[in-house]
């Protein structure tokens, strides 16, 4: 076994992890091989990160100590059927980041192998990711440590019970999209109020970043911060009134729940 990390699926999330793992020197490019069906993506990943690439997932799985699955849940069955064609000589640790795909589905697909189900998110690219993971029955303390080290390199890591993984997916897995919409909408609002676009986006980004930092460092409850910003009869309560009228909080809660339910559905398909 000569290669430490194999990745199957080199799309958005695969690249988000790969880029940071390489830039932080957690793995050397020579220690990584990516199995990817798209020739265009293979060429791009090889050129951008210097990793080995192949369209043959068996070639990946046969020579690595850790096999990271980063394909869509919809192709999980096809990919695992392809891998099941011959036993994996290197007995790798399997780490799946697939939404919805359960530990029991992973253990059925990879009998006798240690499996870990993880849910990272795209801020991993800049080392600000949030990953939750849960381990299968054959995963050793060392396997968990491998997962912990890999995901620590791209942000914060928590170990959770598998029963929480769909909810994690709905919140932190999908969450960067909600926050991106928030930033875009704040910027649009600034433009509507007369700000130039670049300035509006700068204000929106720094306001979100600063608020998060304030909440994290002071540990005050979000409701208390809201109270501190809303001066009696002032501007903020006028804005908050509109958010309440538009169902802002209910919409965010429903979004997390809908995404968690979709995660469950994606797993139930296989």
Ligand X SMILES: NC(=O)C1=CN([C@@H]2O[C@H](COP(=O)(O)OP(=O)(O)OC[C@H]3O[C@@H](n4cnc5c(N)ncnc54)[C@H](OP(=O)(O)O)[C@@H]3O)[C@@H](O)[C@H]2O)C=CC1
Ligand Y SMILES: O=C(O)[C@@H]1CCC=N1
84-92, 169-177, 189-197, 227-235 -> range binding ligand Y (CB under 6 A): 169-177
Residue 14 binding: pick among ligand X, ligand Y, none (C-beta 5-8 Å cut-off by kind): ligand X
75, 164, 183, 215: which one contacts ligand X (CB under 6 A)?
Answer: 75
Contact between 95 and ligand X by CB under 6 A: the answer reads: no
Is the CB of residue 122 less than 8 Å from the CB of residue 105? Answer: no
Separation of CA 26 from chain center = 18
Contact between 165 and ligand Y by CB under 6 A: the answer reads: no
The token pair that represents 254 in the structure block:
């429903």
Residue 81 binding: pick among ligand Y, ligand X, none (C-beta 5-8 Å cut-off by kind): none
Q: How far apart are CA 124 and CA 185, in angstroms?
A: 23
80, 174, 187, 201: which one contacts ligand Y (CB under 6 A)?
Answer: 174
Contact between 36 and ligand X by CB under 6 A: the answer reads: yes
Q: In what order do the strands lie in the sheet with 52-54?
A: 52-54, 32-35, 3-8, 64-69, 93-96, 115-119, 129-135, 155-159
Residue 220 binding: pick among ligand Y, ligand X, none (C-beta 5-8 Å cut-off by kind): none
Q: How far apart are CA 228 and CA 225, in angstroms?
A: 5
Instruction: Classify 118 as helix, strand or coil.
Output: strand
Contact between 16 and ligand Y by CB under 6 A: the answer reads: no
Answer yes or no: is 10 a known binding residue. Answer: yes
Q: Which residue has the CB atom at the shortest distance from ligand X?
A: 11
Is the CB of residue 68 less than 8 Å from the CB of residue 33? Answer: no
Answer yes or no: is 35 a known binding residue. Answer: no
Bridge partners of 68? 7, 95
Contact between 116 and ligand X by CB under 6 A: the answer reads: no
7, 79, 147, 171: which one contacts ligand X (CB under 6 A)?
Answer: 79
**Residue 92 gets which letter from DSSP?**
P
Q: How far apart are CA 103 and CA 204, in angstroms?
A: 39
Residues in region 55-114 near ligand Y by CB under 6 A: 99
* Nearest CB to ligand Y, comparing residues 121 and 146: 121
Q: How far is the CB of 106 from ligand Y (least distance, A)?
A: 16
The token pair that represents 81 in the structure block:
């059927």
Q: How far apart are CA 120 and CA 115, in angstroms?
A: 16
Query: Footprint of ligand X on this chain (CB under 6 A)?
Result: 8-14, 35-38, 41, 57, 70-73, 75, 78-79, 97-99, 119-122, 173
Write out the residues near ligand Y by the rule CB under 6 A: 99, 169, 173-174
């Amino acid at each position: 076994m000569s290669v430490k990390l194999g990745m199957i699926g080199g799309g958005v999330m695969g690249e988000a992890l790969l880029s940071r793992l390489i830039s932080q020197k957690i793995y050397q490019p020579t220690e990584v091989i990516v199995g990817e069906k798209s020739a265009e993506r293979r060429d791009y990943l090889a050129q951008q990160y210097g990793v080995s690439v192949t369209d043959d997932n068996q070639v990946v799985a046969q020579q690595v100590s850790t096999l990271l699955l980063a394909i869509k849940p919809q192709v999980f069955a096809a990919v695992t059927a392809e891998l099941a064609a011959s036993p994996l000589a290197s007995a790798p640790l399997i780490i799946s980041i697939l939404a919805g795909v359960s530990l029991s589905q992973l253990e059925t697909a990879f009998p006798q192998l240690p499996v870990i189900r993880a849910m990272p998110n795209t801020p991993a690219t800049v080392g600000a990711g949030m990953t939750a993971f849960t381990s299968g029955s054959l995963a050793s303390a060392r396997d968990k440590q491998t997962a912990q080290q890999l995901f620590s390199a791209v942000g914060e890591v928590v170990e959770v019970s598998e029963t929480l993984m769909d909810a994690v997916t709905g919140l932190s897995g999908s969450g960067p999209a909600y926050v991106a919409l928030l930033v875009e909408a704040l910027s649009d609002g600034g433009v509507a109020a007369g700000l130039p676009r670049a300035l509006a986006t700068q204000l929106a980004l720094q306001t979100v970043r600063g608020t998060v930092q304030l909440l994290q460092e002071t540990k005050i409850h979000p409701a208390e911060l809201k109270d501190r910003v809303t001066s009696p009869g002032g501007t903020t309560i006028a804005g908050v009134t509109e958010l309440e009228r538009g169902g802002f909080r209910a919409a965010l809660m429903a979004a997390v729940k809908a995404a968690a339910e979709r995660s469950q559905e994606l797993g139930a398909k296989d």
